[in-house]
Structure 1
Amino acid sequence: MRADLVNILVGSTFVVSDTRGDIRPGTDEATGLFYRDMRHLSRWEIRLNGRELDSLSATTIEYDEAVFYLIEPTGTVYRNPTVSLLRRRFVGDGMHEQLEVTNHGIEPIHLELSILFAADFADIFEVKDQLAKVGEFHQVVGDTRTTLTYRRDDFSRETSVLAPGAFLTEESLTYRVELGPAQTWRTELQVAVGTQLTGPTPRRALHQPDMAAGLDDWLAAAPVLECGWEDLTRTYRRSLVDLAALRFYPESFPDSSLPAAGLPWFMALFGRDSLITSYQALPFMPELARTTLRALAAQQATEADPFRDADPGKILHELRHGELTYFGQRPQSPYYGSCDATPLFLVVLDEYERWTGDVATVRALEPAARAALAWMDEHADLTGSGYLDYQTRNPESGLVNQCWKDSWNSIVHPDGRLASHPHATCEIQGYAFDARMRAARLAEQIWGDAELAATLRASAAKLQERFVNDFYLPDEGWYALALDGERTPVPTLTSNIGHLLWSGIVPEEHVDDLAGHLMGERLFSGWGVRTMASGQPAYNPLEYHNGTVWPHDNALIAAGLARYGRTEAAARIAVALFEAASQVNYRLPEALVGYARRPGHPPVAYPSACSPQAWAAGTPLLLLRALLGLEPEGDRLLSRPVQVDAIGWLALRGIPGRWGRSDTTR
């Protein structure tokens, strides 16, 4: 998202505007007021006596409030403005705006203050792909409100602009104001949003809790970070605030929150993203993992549905509420086009119990876990090779790639040729290995099924042996990105090999080779590990998954390096990302351009990167865990901290877990 745009958000509601606070129609950016995957305001432009105002400043306060200071344009540097406008905006259950106009002159003035508004009710996918609407629009003007409605069959959305004291039309509201010298005039506006499906099973709009009121409690519940590096302290707080902003409360669990994936395109439940973010945040905010696991289990597929890429036991990829998914123009929600969310569900379930000791939740989710294991055994191996692989059964609108690098051209040979389907990507096999090992522990210690535990451990051991034989490239010293449709290795050097360290599937004799490649100049840019190594024809530092640097990718790599005792390399990645964060307002974006780091050249955000984005916000948390060597062992928290000169003294106090609260220092 462009740096000159201002965004505020609460859960699935967000507003993106320019620095005047205006929402301008006709742009290719996701500007507007959005609620549950649809745009409820596509225009919201303020005018003073028919003219645009100039912006002095635009400031966001935490995540749900923005303040804009505007002045009348004078057209010359020789005349100072005499009228200012303070515009304060809040978002939550719709949008609330306070306006203050002040006369700084010595003469009385007569003003006409107007806001031009419109609602195109564009689905988020229509915004992204610039598609036209097919439903009907209606406007109703009342004494204090104008109501804008969109209807298509039994699908309806509504926006109400409430402006007491204003003259209202179908597309504007106007106040006529008289101000004496030094006088200030104030008013308040409200924009209410709603959805109503009028078919056989009506649904009302989801009420958004006032999460802003809970921010202080959210921050107070998190461990306290103490260190000598102020930039790291600010990055840590920014991460906690962004995770708070991205929280939303699923309908089935209205008292518990989980993270949406990222603003603006992914303000929804995503299986992979929410699971990885929850994993990152476990030592800090275990609530996210508990709610994510419960919400995903509630939406677990129970039958085969090729249009949604669903099979029994599969964990969803995304859950949307917009028009296109409702009418099947995109895979209907929930959509299950993810090959890795299901094993990751098992990984996080085990990790959640290790940290929290919440045996009741693990027992309650045993049926979902067993169904996930059954999916891995019975449905995920499309080629009979013993691997988890994928190929969409919905070629019109299903995802071509269903690993975390899910852009169309991410599974590619070094020379740029796309790999044939089905794909068995290397990191998903690591997840499957880890999932079976973790599920074996749960079966043995909590579910009371020693036979299942033994079966899972044996299956994991066979997978590891087969994987090393089929994927490892001894002449290159790394693992293939994937096996293609002919079961031929795709020998591209990518960051995926770092995920293999995180999962634990790599034998010790290969670890140093992988670490050497990960930290070599082809993969390591100086700001982090690139998704694809330079020097290969397919590499492009500006390509979404073929050369950029993804913070969450690097956090998992650092955790993997630390797992195998390569702590110096893990610390190098952590410091690079903390330094990058300090130069992008302490908020890591979804991805950075893969340019090599040079003195005097700051990191560059990927042009359309989500910000804030959940697993980017969770990255500093997982990096801190790796640096402090935090691992639960029974009812104790172990810490094996790494000495990092760039950080100096480091302490984390009040780490929640099955032990209560614990402190650790380095």
Structure 2
Amino acid sequence: MTEPVRILDGNSFMISRPNGDVDADPADRFGLFSFDTRFLSRWRLTVNGEPLNPMSVDAGDHFQSRFFLVPGAPTHYVDADLSVIRERSISSWLAERLIVLNHGREPAELALRVEAASDFASMYGILFGEAKGGSYGVEVGAEELRLCYARERFRRETLIVASEPADVDDSGLTFRITVPAHGEWRLDLRVEMLAPGRHGGDIRQKLHRAHRRSPEEVRQDLAAWLDRVPRLNCDWAPLRETYRRSLTDMAALRYRPLTFPDEALPAAGLPWYMVISGRDSLITSLQSLAVAPELAATTLRMLGVDQGSKLDDFRDEEPGKIMREFRYGEATAFGESPNSPYFGSADTTPLYVMLMDEYERWTGDDKLVREYEPEARAALAWIDEYGDVLGNGYVSYLPRNERSGIVNQVWKEFREAICYADGRIATPPLATCELQGYAYDAKRRGARMAREIWGDSALADRLEREADDLRDRFNRDFWIADRGYYALALDRDGNQVDALASNMGHLLMTGILPPDRAAAVAEHLMAPSLYSGWGVRSLATTARRYNPLGYHLGAVWPFDNSLIAWGLRRYGFDAEAARIAEGMLQAGMAFGGRLPEAFGGYDRALTRQPVNYPSACSPHAWSTGAAFLLLRTLLGLKPAGDELLSDPAVPASIERIDLLDVPGRWGRSDAFARGRIDLTARWPSPGAG
């Protein structure tokens, strides 16, 4: 057992070793975290000075785990006289119960010790390095230990309280106990993660009591969540298991922002991005409309409240722009990082308008669309005013913050991700192809909302004219005629960045492509250079920079594939969409039903099993949401007024799908499908699995 053990409840999470211990290096992911701060960097349990080794681990639900441990080295396991059960759950605090079991015939006198320390590092600091400018302190009580950090107005504390008497010192708690023969001894530990204000009390508690959730309340909330989401009946294990795992992962990833503490939106992923994240929350909410449309409502409200209102080079802020992320750590508090919030994303703003329209189509909630009309109008205005960096009618990006801003302000953020086929790296300002598709779709959707909800036909007419013009120019300037696919981007001089990549697959869901060119795009997406047998690679094998383990240079991303499959259905490529869905869901089974953030882009015939990407977030929100959108795609679910239409396109490997109680403006509706598409006739099996 070497895999880290994770427990998670939206705003708080813990990552430990398989025995439950934490002994974090400054730059690793282990520890107890809440609101972007590590509150425990050491949490070590010993008995008579010996560490404990795991016999087994029960991961349980997302917020709890159980460790079955014995002292000493593995050679001591046979007929062990002593064992320890370590039960752990997370909510607004960490609750840990230790049960020491004496299997011997004589009483056992033991020194049980819990070592505790905190570096109070922020996630941003762990990722990028952070100079701590404050002071540390320790307060020792009779049965409690308080770890403190303060830097001017910024204060964080970890309070550890024990249910039994202890010898407490600066680095932990020691319990000297006697466990009777064939008896047990129990200890309850409670670890509070506190953000004291200037005049005492926890800032979060003062803002709203919803941030004080007990483990039992978390358990009840999970049960209620699972009770209200659609119920899936399916004979095919990959879909059934991935859907079930995705539901519990999405429940775990629901983040309750301080602005709307009674509501939740999807955080991006564990461990690095358990924060408010514009792109991730928007795409995940879009993927999840058929399962949990309330996530979209909170996402639209939260991102609308924090919409850009001024020019701020440090934070890449512009009027009307939608944020990339918001962090609460020390560097943010003192202006050493721009994440308060940071606006370095060019795609979040059109995605905001796209989600708003699709949300209203699905739910009929025109009240929200009316309430956030100013934000949607400002987002549409940003596309033309600030999004058009070069004044050529295309949405481009060029970081205002030249020191710490993100270079590539699209989902492929890595420096090398936007490249020419010959391996040269393209430098901003860049207009990637999917940005133009998003802008086109946002204008079309904005026009519908303007005409049908805002009562502004003049704006609707203008947006439709602009969308038509953008479509015509895009299909002239981005199309690489001699290769039959769309350029990844246009550079500063209007030259085509010609690498073959998955980005053009997003164009299908936006409707910007003419049917004949959509067919060419579909053919390229399913060709061996892009399609691995599990899914579409982020970069084709024909590109000079291709690497099957390249994060944006060849790895397969489930979210990317879910959007591509959805778009393929839009243009009538049902078999291609079904092929992608089948491959993705089969890959999910190799990861216990959890689609990872990304996995290796190797040919399926070569590896037989999908290859894990070592640093991927797990769980990851838009990979979790991918399962929901793939299911929607297979069933062909589409809102039409107050009715839910279904036009299934299901591979023959799935005998039947029943999705019951799909929520929307129609109330609740059911969808049924039988598998009829024979994928083996068109794509012979590329490998086992």
TM over 0.5: yes
Residue 332 of structure 1: how far off its partner (Å): 3.7
CA distance in structure 1 between the partners assigned to 2:373 and 2:354 by the alignment: 13
Alignment check: 8 A CA contact 1:420 1:486 kept? no
Aligned twin of 2:9: 10
8 A Cα contact 2:235 2:656, kept in partner: yes
Distance 1:202 1:211, change over 3 A: closer
Per-residue deviation, 1:213: 1.9
User: Are the structure 2 counterparts of residues 173 and 74 from structure 1 closer, same or farther at C-alpha, using a change threshold of 3 Å?
Assistant: same
Q: Secondary structure at the match of 2:554?
A: coil
The partner residue of 1:646 within 650, 653, 657 is: 653
2:524 to 514, 517, 527: 517
1:236 aligned residue (234, 243, 247):
243
For residues 451 and 372 of structure 1, the distance between their equivalents in structure 2, rounded to whole angstroms, comes to: 17
State the Cα deviation string for residues 200-240 of structure 1 (Å, max 9, x = none). x9944562444332111111111111111133211101111
Partner of 2:325: 318
Distance in 1 of aligned mates of 2:411 and 2:445:
21
CA distance in 2, matches of 1:409, 1:328: 28
User: How do 1:7-156 and structure 2 match up within 5 A?
Assistant: 7-26=6-25, 28-73=27-72, 76=75, 79-156=78-155
Counterpart Cα distance in 1 of 2:656 and 2:329: 48
Report what 1:168 is aligned to: 168
Which residue is 1:183 aligned to?
Answer: 183
Write the mapping of 1:169-318 to structure 2, written as runs, cut at 5 A: 169-196=169-196, 198=198, 203-204=203-204, 207-209=211-213, 210-318=217-325
Pick closer, same or farther for the CA change 1:27–1:603 going to 2, 3 Å. farther
CA distance in 2, matches of 1:436, 1:345: 11
Contact 2:68 / 2:85 at 8 angstroms: preserved in 1?
Answer: yes
- CA deviation after TM superposition for structure 1 residue 581, in Å: 0.7
**Distance change >3 Å, CA 56–CA 78, structure 1 → 2:** closer
Q: CA deviation at 1:69?
A: 0.3
The correspondence of residues 306-455 of structure 1 with structure 2, limited to 5 A, is 306-455=313-462
Shift of 1:132: 4.3
Following TM superposition, by how much is the alpha carbon of 1:105 offset from its aligned partner in structure 2, in angstroms?
Answer: 1.1
Which string of whole-angstrom CA distances, capped at 9 and with x for unpartnered residues, describes residues 175-205 of structure 1? Answer: 1111221101111001001113549x99445
> Is the 1:197–1:204 Cα contact (8 Å) retained in structure 2?
no
| Distance (whole Å) between structure 1 residues aligned to residue 62 and residue 91 of structure 2 | 11
Residues 119 and 72 of structure 1: CA distance in aligned 2, closer, same or farther (over 3 Å): same
Instruction: Give the corresponding residue for 2:683.
Output: none
- Report the equivalent of 1:553: 560
Residue 25 of structure 1: CA displacement? Answer: 2.8
What amino acid is the match of 1:322? G
Bigger drift between 160-169 and 40-49 goes to 160-169
What 5-or-longer segments of structure 1 have no aligned partner?
Answer: none
Q: Which amino acid aligns with 2:87?
A: R
Q: Show the 5 A alignment for 1:546-585.
A: 546-585=553-592
- Over 3 Å counting, the alpha-carbon distance change for 1:75 and 1:430 in structure 2 is closer
SS at match of 1:61: coil
Give the SS at the match of 2:604: coil
1:661 to 660, 668, 681: 668
Alignment partner of 1:464 is 2:463 = no
CA shift in 2, pair 1:476/1:11, >3 Å: same
Asked if the contact 2:96/2:188 (under 8 Å) is kept, the reply is yes
Q: Secondary structure at the match of 1:196?
A: coil
CA distance in structure 2 between the partners assigned to 1:38 and 1:618 by the alignment: 26
* CA distance in 2: counterparts of 1:338 and 1:321, whole angstroms: 19
Contact map agreement 2:11 2:256 (CA 8 A) in 1:
no
- Mapped contact 1:388–1:428 kept (Cα < 8 A): yes
Residue 535 of structure 1, CA deviation: 2.2
8 Å contact kept, 1:139–1:148: yes
Residues 301 and 38 (structure 1), Cα distance of their counterparts in 2 relative to 1, 3 Å cut: same
Residue 250 (structure 1) shift: 1.6
- For 1:81, what is the secondary structure of its paired residue? coil
Please report the TM-score for the alignment, with normalisation by the length of structure 1. 0.98
8 Å CA contact 2:407–2:428 kept in 1: the answer is: no
User: What is the CA-CA distance between 1:14 and the residue it aligns to?
Assistant: 0.4
* 1:3 CA displacement: 6.6
Alpha-carbon distance in structure 1 between the residues aligned to 2:656 and 2:368: 37
Q: Percent identity?
A: 47
On the 8 A contact 1:272/1:317 being kept in 2, the answer is: yes
Q: Secondary structure at the match of 2:23?
A: coil
Structure 1 residues 265-320: Cα deviation after superposition (integer angstroms, max 9, x where no partner): 00011111001000011011011000100111010111111111011111111011
2-side partners of 1:185 and 1:42: how far apart?
27
The structure 2 residue matched to 1:507, chosen from 504, 509, 514, is 514
CA contact (8 A) 1:74 1:80 kept: no
Aligned residues: 665
CA RMSD of aligned residues (A): 1.7
Aligned AA (1:246): L
Cα distance change, pair 79–269 in 1 and its aligned pair in 2 (3 A): closer
**Residue equivalent to 1:628:** 635
Tell me the SS of whatever aligns to 1:225: strand
CA contact (8 A) 1:419 1:485 kept: no
Residue identity in the other structure for 2:70: I
- Shifted more, 72-81 versus 502-511: the winner is 72-81
Q: Which runs of 5+ in 2 are unaligned?
A: 674-689
Shift of residue 645, structure 1, vs aligned partner:
0.9
CA contact (8 A) 1:73 1:81 kept: no
CA offset at residue 78 of structure 1? 8.7
Q: Give, in whole Å, the separation in 1 of the partners of 2:586 and 2:124.
A: 34
Tell me the TM-score normalized by structure 2: 0.94
Q: Distance in 2 between matches of 1:515 and 1:425?
A: 19
Aligned to 2:156, what secondary structure does the other structure show?
A: strand
- CA drift of 1:131 comes to 3.8
What letter corresponds to residue 71 of structure 1 in structure 2?
Answer: V
Instruction: Tell me how far 1:74 sits from its aligned partner.
Output: 5.8
Q: Which amino acid aligns with 1:190?
A: R
Secondary structure class of the residue paired with 1:664:
strand
Shift in alpha-carbon separation, 1:643–1:126, aligned structure 2, 3 A: closer
Higher mean displacement: 460-469 or 404-413: 404-413
Give the partner amino acid of 2:166.
Answer: A
Residues of 2 paired with 1:465 and 1:320: CA distance?
40
CA shift at 1:163, angstroms?
A: 1.6
- Give the Cα separation in 2 of the matches to 1:449 and 1:132: 52
Equivalent residue letter for 1:8: I
> In structure 1, which of residues 578, 586, 591 is the aligned counterpart of residue 593 of structure 2?
586
Query: Is the Cα–Cα contact under 8 Å of residues 6 and 14 in structure 2 kept in the other structure?
Result: yes
Contact 2:226 2:247 in 1 (8 A): yes
**2:687 matched residue in structure 1:** none
